[in-house]
Amino acid sequence: MTQRKRLSNTQSSSQSKRQPSSLVAQEEDDDATFTQPSTSQVQRGLEKLTPAQIDQKTAEVVQYFLVKDQKKIPVRRADLVKHVVKEYRNIYPEIIKRASRTFDQVFGLKLVEIDAKTHMYILINKLETAEGISPINSPANPKMGLLFVILSVIFMKGGVVRENVIWNTLKKLRVDPGEKHEEFGDVKKLVTDEFVRQRYLEYVRIPHTEPAEYEFHWGQRADIEVSKAKILEFMGQLHEQDPQSWTQQYREAHSCPSSTQASTSSQR
């Protein structure tokens, strides 16, 4: 399914940036130069602007997030300030507050800061999180189906698995990471790059392995968006087994449902 394209000029430069790791250090410097303005600074900034100007800037910020969200790419505060907020940086907290309100009231989305150190934001679907994403209520998207299988394997194996376990599981489902798949294209790239950039998965090198071996964990977005209880329910249906029979997983799935560190960004 194609995604909407919208808003362009403001983010074409950031879009082309593939974030090679060498650039990250420099970008963090950019962020360091941005200091959160104080309440009184914001107040003074707002007095100099017309409501229409503030609305316009808020709309640009909203569209920027929506474009990134289509590809599920997290937004860095530094990029947002540099490419969109620009000369309005002195009222940044007010603009983010208004954008959050719009996401909430109009789009049913929640703006969440997933990393307080690098100031990384993602949009979470508020209409789904109540029950969590699952293959049962979103069967239309095959990529999500594949992701769900991988998350299930990781969860059932206690939160971390070596990559060959994932590849073997996928092969059993006739999805071979070594071959080009009709629906997913380059499967290995989808899993180790796209899902990782979207923060659904973490793909990390196991220390002291030579040649390098990798393992998978759940990513931050998965922690927030995906319901572990739903996964157990799914596994139960698959294996015709009572979800409660997986004692440890059942306990984890049903202990404090929102055990995420993510905080709402409405005040940032």
Partner 1 sequence: MSRQMGDSHRRFLQIMMVNGIVDEHEARTLYQHCCERHNTQHVPDKLDEFIDIINSKLQPMFMQIRKGMSEDNGQQYYALVNMAETDVTRMSSDYADNELELFRKTMDLIVNTENGKASSTDILNSADTMTTKKLKKSETEHLLNRLVSDKWLSEKRGEYTLSTRCIIEMEPYIRTMYQDQVKVCHICHNIAFQCQICEKPTCGIKIHNPCVARYFKGRAEPRCPACDDFWPHEIPEVRRPHSQSRR
Q: In whole angstroms, how close is the CB of 80 to partner 1 at the nearest point? A: 15
Instruction: Using the minimum distance from each CB to partner 1, give the nearer residue, 102 or 118.
Output: 102
CB of 12 to partner 1, least distance (A): 5
| CB of 3 vs partner 1, minimal distance in Å | 7
Is there a contact between 255 and 231 (Cβ–Cβ < 8 Å)? no
What are the structure tokens assigned to 39, written together? Answer: 């309440």
Reduce the secondary structure of the chain to three states and give it as a string: CCCCCCCCHHHHHHHHCCCCHHHHHHHHHHHHHCCCCCHHHHHHHHHCCCHHHHHHHHHHHHHHHHHHHHCCCCEEHHHHHHHHHHHHHHHHHHHHHHHHHHHHHHHCEEEEEEECCCCEEEEEEHHHHCCCECCCCCCCCHHHHHHHHHHHHHHHCCCCEEHHHHHHHHHHCCCCCCCEECCCEEHHHHHHHHHHHCCCEEEEECCCCCCCCEEEEECHHHHHHECHHHHHHHHHHHHCCCHHHCHHHHHHHHCCCCCCCCEECCCC
- Name which of 63 and 118 has its Cβ closer to partner 1: 63
Q: Which residues pair with 201 in a beta bridge?
A: 218
Question: Residue 208 Cβ, how far from partner 1 at the closest point, in Å?
Answer: 42
- For partner 1, the closer of residues 91 and 166 by Cβ is 91
Which residue, 63 or 260, is less far from partner 1 as judged by CB? 63
CB nearer to partner 1: give 104 or 252: 104
We find the least distance from the C-beta atom of residue 140 to partner 1, in angstroms, to be 9
Residues that bind partner 1 (CB under 8 A): 1-9, 11-12, 15, 55, 58-60, 62-63, 66-67, 70, 102, 105-109, 125-127
Closer residue to partner 1 (CB): 4 or 174? 4
Between 184 and 216, whose beta carbon lies closer to partner 1? Answer: 184
Give the nearest distance from C-beta 171 to partner 1 in angstroms. 28
**Min CB(11)–partner 1 separation in Å:** 6
